[in-house]
Chain A
Amino acid sequence: MIGAYIMILASPGTVNGIVKELRKIEQIENISVITGEYDIVVRVTVENMQKLADITDMINIVNGVSKTHTHVIMREQRA
Chain B
Amino acid sequence: MRKRYLFYLLLFTAAILDAITALFDARMMKIVSDPLAYADSFFIVGMLVCMLLGLFFSTGTKNRSIGSLVDPSFKRIRMIKKEELLYHILAGAGNAITTIAFFALFFSFTDPSSVLPFYQVVLLYLLFIEAFSEKNAPTIAEIEASVAVVFGAIMMSMTEGIPETSALIIVFLIMNPAYALFTLYQRKLKSMTFGGKSNDAINIRFWNVFFTMVFCLLFSLIISPESILLAFDVIPQNFSLIATATTLSTISYILFIRALGISSASIAQAVKSASLVLSLIFSLLMGQLAGIDSTFALLKFMGIILVVLGIVDISFTEVRSFLFIRLKSGQDSLKLMQKIWAIKGIDSVALVSGEYDIIARIRTRTLGKGYETIITKINSMSEVSTTHWESVLKEWETV
B-binding residues in A (CB < 8 A): 3-5, 19, 23, 28-38, 41, 69-79
Contacts and interface: CB of A to CB of B under 8 A. Distances in A.
Given A28-B398, A71-B355, A74-B353, A34 B392 contact: yes
30 contacts: A3-B350, A5-B350, A19-B396, A23-B396, A29-B397, A30-B395, A30-B397, A30-B398, A32-B392, A32-B394, A34-B390, A35-B390, A35-B391, A35-B393, A36-B388, A36-B390, A37-B388, A37-B390, A69-B354, A70-B354, A71-B353, A71-B355, A72-B353, A72-B354, A74-B352, A75-B337, A76-B349, A78-B347, A78-B348, A79-B136
The 10 closest A-B pairs by CB, nearest first: A71-B352, A71-B354, A36-B390, A78-B348, A76-B350, A75-B351, A34-B390, A33-B394, A31-B396, A73-B350
Interface string B373-399: 000000000000000111111111110
Contacts of B334: 75
Contacts of B197: none
Nearest to A26: B398
Contacts of B322: 32, 34, 41
Contacts of A78: 347-348
A3 B338 CA distance: 19
B356 interface: yes
Contacts of A33: 392-395
Contacts of A72: 352-354
B135 interface: yes
A32 B362 CA distance: 12
Contact of A76 (B348, B388, B390, B394): B348
A31 B353 contact: no
A79 B342 CA distance: 11
A4 to B, nearest CB: 8
Contacts, number: 84
B355 to A, nearest CB: 6
Contact of A77 (B320, B349, B388, B393): B349
Contacts of A30: 395-398
Nearest to B392: A32
A77 B322 CA distance: 15
Given A30-B397, A78-B347, A79-B347, 13 more contacts: A23-B396, A31-B396, A32-B320, A32-B392, A34-B393, A36-B389, A36-B391, A41-B390, A71-B352, A71-B359, A75-B334, A77-B348, A77-B350
B341 interface: yes
Contacts of B354: 69-72
B341 A38 contact: no
Given A79-B135, A79-B347, A73 B352 contact: yes
A6 to B, nearest CB: 10
A69 B388 CA distance: 16
Specify the main secondary structure of chain A where it touches its partner.
strand
Contacts of B337: 75, 77
Contacts of A28: 398
Specify the main secondary structure of chain B where it touches its partner.
strand
Contacts of B349: 76-77
A38 B389 CA distance: 11
Nearest to B391: A35
Contacts of B351: 73-76
Contacts of A69: 354-355
A77 B392 contact: no
A32 B320 CA distance: 9
A42 B347 CA distance: 16
Max chain B Cβ within 10 angstroms of own Cβ: one of A19, A30, A32, A35: A32
A23 B389 CA distance: 25
B59 to A, nearest CB: 25
Nearest to B398: A29
A35 B395 CA distance: 12
A48 to B, nearest CB: 16
Nearest to A36: B390
